[in-house]
Amino acid sequence: MPNHMFSAACSNSPSSSTNLLWSFLWIPLLISLSIELPYVNAQSSIIMLPTEPDSEAAFPSSPRCLAPDANLNFRPVIGILSHPGDGASGRLKNGTGVSYIAASYVKFVESAGARVVPLVYTDHPGVLLRVWVKDQNFLGLNICCKQNIWLTALSDSSSGRKLDLVNGVLFTGGSAKSGLYFDVVGLIFKKVLEKNDAGQFFPCYAICLGFELLAMVVSKDNNILERFNASYMASTLQFVEGTSIEGTVFERFPPDLLRKLNTECLVMQNHKYGISPGTLRGNQRLSCFFNILTTSADEDDKVYVSTAQAHHYPITAFQWHPEKNAFEWGYSMIPHSEDAVQVTQNVANFFIRKKTG
């Protein structure tokens, strides 16, 4: 047989067919290995934590969450006193019985986990608080001469008494320093003191105008305020030397943020009145009630008290606006940096401490 015929016969042998078949089988096998090997390597590179052994049996069910502390209030409600006007200089509704609460104060309280009840300053006093007005000069405010409504006996148990439904009070900024609004602030402030004296933790924040009104009420001097040039300006807070921040609104501030408050303009000021450190310390009633925490300077470098806290009550007074940094955008000088927003949040958190109630 010719050699070329023998070669052709050999190429068609079973062995040759087997080799050809294996050449086709290697292709999917290699593809499969290329997929599996990275997965195996990834599995072998997983780092297990000490509490996570590589065994399904080592993953017990999660522990049950503990019940909330019954001594703490996790559903706090804050009453915010409305301010005369419509909040837009009469452009929306120019009426004598109109009042408003700026949204930033509500958001400020809610950001720390509390709800808000509006304390409308024109409400019947029996709706706001449990009081029977019959003293001609109650709290030195002479409120009985204002309106016939104030002379009504307030013993109706169905009147609501909003102040009994809240766990704290906030006095906002504004401009009203006389009349019915001033009287209502004085009445509510007296109730705040009474609740705390009775053993109830009942905090109060007084912001800007709120601070000014409390200074007038505590000192019993409606002319104690001084003029300052601090409208629409950001400022620092200068901590009074030797004053401890323990137990104050600043106690939970990170150390770095406390330092920045001294050197960076992280707070918003907007006021024409205030009280100087010398005046506060020189007034016996004020100095016995308030401790100065920080001071600030106005555009003319006149120094005023910017933060004060009551010696014996959970009452903090701010000449600056802690609510604006995170929630108001009307003026370009309002600080909105990350640090400024942290200031707002820390101040709100201190107010809505869970022991509120």
Catalytic, 65? Answer no
Q: Where are the alpha helices (DSSP H) in 89-177?
A: 103-110, 125-128
Active-site residue identified among 204, 265, 271, 321 = 321
Active-site residue identified among 208, 265, 311, 336 = 208
d(CA 178, CA 89): 18
Amino acid at residue number 207: I
Cα distances from 32 to residues 21, 36, 45, 193, in angstroms, run: 18, 6, 21, 78
Cα 305 from chain centroid (whole Å): 22
d(CA 177, CA 184): 11
Smallest Cα–Cα separation from 117: which of 169, 80, 66, 86? 80
d(CA 299, CA 254): 29
d(CA 295, CA 239): 7
Q: What is the DSSP string of 312-354?
A: SSSEEEESS-TTHHHH--SSTTS--SHHHHHHHHHHHHHHT-T
Task: Give pairs for 109-113: CB < 8 Å, separation 24+.
Answer: 109/78, 109/80, 109/170, 109/348, 109/351, 109/352, 111/326, 111/344, 111/345, 111/348, 112/345, 112/348, 112/349, 112/351, 112/352, 113/74, 113/76, 113/352
Q: Within 10 Å of residue 151's Cβ, how many Cβ atoms?
A: 13
Q: What is the DSSP string of 299-317?
A: TT--EEEEEEEESSSSEEE
Residue 309, C-beta contacts closer than 8 angstroms, at least 6 positions apart: 248, 249, 290, 291, 293, 315, 316, 317
For tokens 């330092």, name the residue.
Answer: 259
Q: Quick one: tokens of 185?
A: 């602030």
Catalytic, 312? Answer no
Catalytic residues: 208, 321
